[in-house]
A and B are shown apart, each in its own frame.
Chain A
Amino acid sequence: MDKFLKDDVHPKIIEALLKIDTGVKLDDALDNEMILNMGPQHPATHGVLRLVLRLDGETVMACVPELGYLHRGYEKMAENMSYYEFIPHTDRLDYLAPLSNNVAWVLAVEKLAGIEAPPRAQYIRMMVCEMSRIASHLVAIGALALDVGALTVFLWTLREREKILDIWDILCGARFTNSYTRIGGVANDAQPEVLQKVKVFIEEYEENLRECEKLLNTNRIFIERLEGVGIISAADAIDVGLTGPSLRGSGVDFDLRRTKPYMFYNDMDFNIVTFSDGDSLARYFVRADETRESVKIVRQILDKMPKGETMLNQPKKVLPKKTEIYSRMEELIHDFMIVNFGINPPVGEVYHAIENPKGELGFYLVSKGEGHPWKCKIRSPSMINLQSLPQLVKGHMVSDVVAIIGSIDPVMGEADK
């Protein structure tokens, strides 16, 4: 049957029809403001983030991000367990880069306890931190591409990431939750096989990244969905507390590896990548280029890595080797004391932060001289970065929200601690 057009019906009939009170609102739904819940089950909300959006048509007028569906109480738990026991829990914060969380924790504890790991251990830590950065950024790049509709790149970046996880498998016996660092060093030395595999990986990496970039950087859909979307100025980005690639995408040259150097980053030659546009595309470019800088750093680490011990010889603070525990009484006693009563750093407080893939990961520890921290605060970059979402999404379309979330790369395990 043909559809009736307005001109087919007498105007008076239409007038009469519209006067009837049906209880149904006849206004166009897209002309009105409406409230939309995105997440926690929406795949674009990367875990358990919930966004309450106020929409006018498809345009976002306002946004309220809500956290609080995963709260595991890690700070409370840290205050009730020894410094050693908390190492595996740091894996579960930013679970895309567990090793750099491990490093951040032990560096904070070592500073508080007044000890320092031997140089070889520090070099290995730097190596795993940079490899974690590559692994994490690969997920960020792939997931961002996936969010705007490109599946292939996601598969390719995960393929690269898998190679890193294979290296972790040999290095510390676990692919995902590594718990590799120890207070005063690392769990075990990096075997020649690991160093060889790392070398092969970094030799091949740039070519493989270029392959992924070929699919993205000239892809009109990818560029147009990110360019000019979710812009934040440098001043606003600092004000809202952004750190990491999200901040450097706005042109701010802030990287703790240079600003507050830790380990041996001062001896390394690398550039801080910044892009000045402050949009989602700039944040993607920062991440891609940062992995190249990480490759540069890892190459130098492999060249410069000194030989020697990977654990400090400090029996009151550092766990003895397992073989020694089984054969020597002193070591057995130290192991028992450290495991049961902790390392008891002196009374004091420390805030130590490192440049994690997502931004500044800091641990604020207060010690009262006991085996466990009196206070532990995790300054997690994902949580603070998410605070910028209302500002970033305002005025954009609903589908842009997905791209913007991907561009700030939150990990909810860290945001929700």
Chain B
Amino acid sequence: MTINELIESKLKENFKDVGFTFTTYLDELTVSFNKKNIVEVCSFLKTNPELEFLLSEDITAIDNATRKNRFTVVYHIFSLKNKFRLRLKCDVDESDCNIDTVSSVWKTADWQEREAYDMYGIKFNNHSDLRRMYMPEDFEYHPLRKDFPLLGIPGSLSLPKK
């Protein structure tokens, strides 16, 4: 059984109610599912002795701009045991722009989620310290959203008081 099939069967077996979509592109496996299951799926992938996805490499989001589910939160996780990288994807709608944090699963998710929050404005529920990563705390915009202009918005970043 290949590692792709192992992941597929393990996930289907342990989460019968969750509708997973498995896609492989350029040998990279992507699993898409509903955002409400994110924490349990991530915990399972990390703790299952056959999988052991111990390293969260990266968490980011995609702004799909015109689509109904405007954002997709993307997780890249790595299994040192199997030498395998897996991509997880959960859609987030703009009207309900939040997803549960996985910082309880991987500590490194703390900063990665803060960065995604800063850049896209997606709130990570139950995050212990959801501050902006790069931009000032009172900055109203989220720069990586597609509707934020490349040259910025004049006056949006005030100079420090003298």
Contacts and interface: CB of A to CB of B under 8 A. Distances in A.
Contacts of A68: 132-136
Contacts of A140: none
A239 B108 contact: yes
A364 B136 CA distance: 26
B107 interface: yes
Interface string B47-58: 000000011111
Given A68-B135, A76-B143, A366-B62, A260 B83 contact: yes
User: What's the interface size class on A, roughly?
Assistant: 35 or more
B87 interface: yes
Contacts, number: 91
A188 interface: no
Contacts of B110: 387
A323 interface: no
A404 B118 CA distance: 28
A76 B118 CA distance: 13
A254 interface: yes
B62 A351 contact: no
A73 interface: yes
A360 B25 contact: no
B112 A351 contact: no
Contact of B80 (A112, A238, A240, A351): A238
A364 B106 contact: no
Interface residues of B, number: 35
A333 interface: no
Nearest to B137: A68
B137 to A, nearest CB: 10
A276 B16 CA distance: 42
A131 B25 CA distance: 33
Contact of B76 (A71, A77, A240, A362): A362
Interface stretch (A55-63, A280-288, A298-306, A371-379): A371-379
A240 B108 contact: yes
Given A80-B150, A240-B107, A241-B56, A379 B62 contact: no
Contacts of A252: 80
B144 A351 contact: no
B134 A387 contact: no
Interface of B: 25-26, 28, 30, 54-58, 60, 62-63, 74, 76, 80, 83, 85, 87, 106-108, 110-112, 115, 119, 132-136, 143-144, 148, 150
Interface of A: 67-68, 71, 73, 75-77, 79-80, 111-112, 236, 238-241, 252, 254, 259-260, 348-351, 353, 360, 362, 364, 366, 374-375, 377, 379, 383-384, 387, 416-417
18 contacts: A67-B133, A68-B132, A75-B119, A112-B26, A236-B107, A238-B80, A254-B80, A351-B58, A351-B85, A353-B57, A360-B57, A362-B57, A362-B76, A364-B74, A364-B76, A384-B112, A387-B110, A416-B134
